[in-house]
Structure 1
Amino acid sequence: MTGCGTTEPPPAHHDGRRILVTGGAGFIGVWLCRELERLGFDIVVVDDLRTTPLQRHVGELRCKSVLDMDLDDLDGIFAVYHLASRKNVAESHHQPLEYLENVDAAGHLLRLCAQVNMPRVVMASSCEVYGIAPALPTAETAPLAPRSPYARTKVALEMLAHAHHQVRSGGSDVTIARFFNVYGPGERPDAVVPALCLAAADADRLVIEGSGTQRRDFSYVTDVVSKLVALLDTTELPVVNIGSGESASVLELVELVRGLKPGVEVEWLQGRPHEIPEFLADTAVATRHLGDLGPAVGLREGVARTYDWWVKQVRTGVRAPELVGDPH
């Protein structure tokens, strides 16, 4: 696998500093590690590889669960990104107790960080914590109303992080990054954008669950990574939405994909229970604290890049059809 495609020299002031990324062999983790490595950081990845990665990891891989980490894993580390998580919303309704691992792992990692006074910790949460928000776009101050076991574990993770932040004594500065719908090349087809792109590339049949009018705030992965990197130098920011500030419906996504693959058929299935009509991020806090990070990748361009990536995977036989499902 290739990196981000840039040849800019890394800034000298970042040379030699080590960052640990849990879940760093996953979709967002790989893109984040590529960019951090480009910037001159040394990367340590903690990932148990229970989910087969679709991209090659970057940096030193320590194949273990977050729950198996110890103080040695934080030796020489100055910042931690905690991305590791069980994240299948639908599955969490059927296996709620399994998702308690999200809470246990976050608590264990925060205890280790407290013991070494880790300067900077960024923990991944989700827009799912808002549930059906009372206002759109939704600001970080909105009440939390999770509707799935997965979302409830993210609320619990946030509470642990806030407690850790409040009691620290010269130690970790913690930020909760609430991801909206991150997408792009390398994402597994258990999310809506790669599921549609893979289906068009390989099966000529797109599946829509329910009416297709459900709307999501889609953010291309490189835009998300830019914000995550900017958080390294942003202090005293307890929580921030990581979204685009725009939403699109599943029907609109389908039309974008059909524009790339004319003639592809559409199959309609029954909608899923507990469906949330729309997620839409208020991005004012991110803009104020992270500044201008350059032009974002628009949805049309981002979907095209994702589709092209899947076309290449299908041509070379690098795919896993058993993974297709739960397209949200």
Structure 2
Amino acid sequence: MRYLVTGTAGFIGFHLARRLLDDGHRVTGFDGMTPYYDIVLKQSRHALLERYDAFRAHIGQLEDLDALRRAADSARPDVIVHLAAQAGVRYSIDNPRSYTDSNLVGSFNVLELARDLKPRHLLLASTSSAYGANDKMPFVETDKADWPLTFYAATKKAMEAMAHCYSHIFGTPTTCFRFFTVYGPWGRPDMALFKFVDAIENGRPIEVYGEGLMKRDFTYIDDLVEAIVRLVECTPATGRAASAPGVVDTLSPVAPWRVVNIGGGEPVGLLPFIKTIENCLGKRAIRKMLPMQAGDMRATYADPRLLEALTGFRPCTSVEDGVTAFVRWYLEERPSRPTIAA
């Protein structure tokens, strides 16, 4: 099949594109190469993808609809996977406008593109942050998600709503998936795992927010990609809901649209997570214990039953195995020492 994937120089987009290429598909990548973090890491990801004859890269901003259309004309995609976004929960407090430009205007442009191209399936990356102040655990896709804690979460929830409208009006088969704390090799340097490993390895203190009491449903990157690849074949169709004991599908009654969690349903405490990193590195962390930051969620915990009902799969890589894989990449393979732009 032919894929158009936005965000192929990013962490998740790179891994998905490489998996699709390994599976024999053609991939057209679209990425803005923004300097949110060291662009060398992004360029290195793209350089690996460009070793494949079936990969073509287009550089441009999501806000530039003409640039997106040029990429789409080249791709003639059967499937569009929209992963590009302004990432970072905490950064959205300091620079909310960048989230409006990328996550709202950019996602609107992707919806406009799909409206014209009529792909077999449009898949859009959302976030577990959409559940916001909801304290019912585990998070089920049908739970209330009306109290976002950050502007990042608000833009992603708005994208889901815009996608539903387009799916209803124009019939675009659409799946929104909510990611739960994705980690692994080639990850972003602003993510907790990268920051912790880099600090511990180099003898610097790590900042532990929420006094270490937070919990996250960590999802290893290979598991996330496997789930996305399987969801590509689960094209929503009005009236054809997933059927499994105890599972309520999110399939819209008026559109070929649904939302799906991608998480394993096994939350891990922040302190045990740090202990795993220490064990992998063979070094103790210097811990600076801090209160919760504005916008942080105390816990994320996915109910993976809908994903499993649709695909027969749920994320299952242990934190020990996932952290070990990241540490090996950090010590042996990473192309530079990326830092977040000031």
2:72 corresponds in structure 1 to 74
2:340 paired with 1:323: yes
Contact 1:132/1:278 (<8 A) preserved? no
Instruction: Summarize the alignment of residues 92-103 of structure 1 with structure 2, pairs less than 5 Å apart.
Output: 92-101=92-101, 102-103=103-104
Contact 2:212/2:289 (<8 A) preserved? no
1:231-284 superposed Cα distances (whole Å, 9 cap, x missing partner): 111011511001111111110111101112334232214221232110000001
Mapped to 2, the partners of 1:127 and 1:267 lie a distance apart of 27
* 2:153 aligns with one of 151, 156, 161: 151
Contact 1:313/1:319 (<8 A) preserved? no
Contact 1:125/1:176 (<8 A) preserved? yes
Q: Secondary structure at the match of 2:125?
A: strand
Contact 1:241/1:281 (<8 A) preserved? yes
From the superposition, tell whether residues 56 and 97 of structure 1 become closer, same or farther in structure 2 (CA, over 3 Å).
closer
TM-score (norm 2): 0.84
TM-score (norm 1): 0.87
2:45 paired with 1:56: yes
2:174 corresponds in structure 1 to 174
Contact 1:22/1:83 (<8 A) preserved? yes
Amino acid at match of 2:186: G
Question: Which structure has the higher relative contact order (CA within 8 Å, separation 6+)?
Answer: 2
Amino acid at match of 2:9: A
From the superposition, tell whether residues 71 and 97 of structure 1 become closer, same or farther in structure 2 (CA, over 3 Å).
closer
2:33 paired with 1:33: no
1:77-119 superposed Cα distances (whole Å, 9 cap, x missing partner): 1111100111121121122222112111111110111012122
Mapped to 2, the partners of 1:178 and 1:219 lie a distance apart of 11
Question: Which has the higher mean CA deviation after the structures are superposed, 113-122 or 220-229?
Answer: 113-122
Q: CA RMSD in A?
A: 1.9
Instruction: Summarize the alignment of residues 1-328 of structure 1 with structure 2, pairs less than 5 Å apart.
Output: 17-51=1-35, 52=39, 54=41, 55-57=44-46, 58=49, 59-68=55-64, 69-75=67-73, 76-101=76-101, 102-144=103-145, 145-169=147-171, 172-203=172-203, 205-236=205-236, 238-271=258-291, 272-292=293-313, 296-313=316-333, 318-320=336-338, 322-323=339-340
Q: Secondary structure at the match of 1:62?
A: strand
From the superposition, tell whether residues 200 and 301 of structure 1 become closer, same or farther in structure 2 (CA, over 3 Å).
same
Across the two proteins, how many residue pairs are aligned to each other? Answer: 303
- Large movers: runs of 4+ above 6 Å: none
The unaligned stretches of length 5 or more in structure 1 are: 1-16
Mapped to 1, the partners of 2:68 and 2:99 lie a distance apart of 22
Q: Secondary structure at the match of 1:197?
A: helix
1:30-51 superposed Cα distances (whole Å, 9 cap, x missing partner): 1000100011111111001114
Contact 2:30/2:68 (<8 A) preserved? no
Q: Secondary structure at the match of 1:210?
A: helix
